[in-house]
Amino acid sequence: MSDYSTEEEQIAAIKNWWKNNGNSLIIGVGVALLIVFGWKAYQNGVIQDKTEASMLYQQMIGAATSNNLNAPEEGSTVTYLAKELKSKFTTSEYAIYAAMFIAKESIADGNYDEAKSELNWIISNTEDNRLVHIANGRLARILSVQGDNEGALQLLDTNDSAFEASYLEIKGDIHSRSNDKTAAIEAYTKAYKLVKDAPQSLPLLAVKLSNLGIDPETL
């Protein structure tokens, strides 16, 4: 049997319920709509930002691979686009790649302090272990050029087999630059043995070993 036997009683009950709960219901629906539309707006904003960042990155790549890159204005364009990308989309992966470009251009210009700043920024702002290793390798080379061989070598310890050979080669370069022939030969030899099955990596290491009086064919 119904709790409300007549239509009038049912209408009265509905009115009473709406009087007690209507405001809460309206607020609840409003909050739900705000969440839904707010989330959609956020997603649209993210997509728009990624699209803009991607386009800017493509412009940077285009400028960097231009046949006229040696022209001063082309180099300036790459640097400008990279800095623009990094400043506008700091939290995106494109900002990391832009910082890599800025560091590369800075090294080419001999501006090692700016290059170090960019590389350290990359290390602090990425969780990509591969990029951290690349940045550390480049930092080590810069420190060595600046005469800080001890600091450079401290950056070249790794348990990642993918970077072991390249780090050993950088160590060899550092030791060779500081005229520590024994340490250079040891580092180059270890690196050479690790990449014997990767022919594309052998020629330069072979030359470095030969320059130190070691015949790579005996390794």
| 217 inside domain | yes
Q: What is the pLDDT of residue 17?
A: 60
Q: Within this chain, do residues 30 and 73 fall inside the same structural domain, yes or no?
A: yes
Instruction: State pLDDT tens for residues 98-119.
Output: 898 889 889 988 999 999 999 9
Is the same domain home to 56 and 140?
no
pLDDT of residue 199: 65
Higher pLDDT pick, 64 / 17: 64
Does 103 fall in a domain?
Answer: no
CATH code of 141's domain: 1.25.40
- How many structural domains does the chain have? 2
pLDDT of residue 25 exceeding 90, the answer is: no
101 occurs within a structural domain: no
pLDDT at residue 184 is higher than 60: yes
Q: What is the pLDDT of residues 29-51, one digit of tens each?
A: 555 555 555 545 444 444 555 67
Same domain, 149 and 70: no
Q: Helix 161-177 vs helix 181-194: angle between axes, to the nearest 10 degrees? A: 160
| Confidence (pLDDT) at 212 | 93
**Residue after which a domain boundary falls, among 52, 70, 94:** 94
Mean pLDDT of all residues in 164-169: 94
In a shared domain, residues 137 and 218? yes
Q: What are phi and psi for residue 11, nearest 5 degrees?
A: -65, -40
Q: What is the predicted pLDDT for the residue at 41?
A: 46
Dist. CA 46–CA 41, nearest whole Å: 9
Instruction: Kindly state the percentage of the chain with pLDDT values over 70.
Output: 71
Q: Which domain holds residue 214?
A: 127-219
Find tokens 């290491």 and name the residue.
205
**Share above pLDDT 90 across residues of the chain, in percent, rounded to a whole number:** 40
Contacts of residue 28, defined as CB under 8 A and 6 or more positions apart, other chains included, come to none
Q: Per-residue pLDDT for 159 more than 90?
A: no
Closest CA to 172 of 159, 103, 218, 195: 195
pLDDT for res 101: 86
- Mean pLDDT over all residues of the chain? 80
pLDDT reported for residue 26: 59
- Which pLDDT belongs to residue 116? 96
| Cβ atoms within 10 Å of 84's Cβ, excluding its own | 14
Residues 55, 132, single domain; the answer is no
Q: Would you say the pTM of this structure is higher than 0.75?
A: no
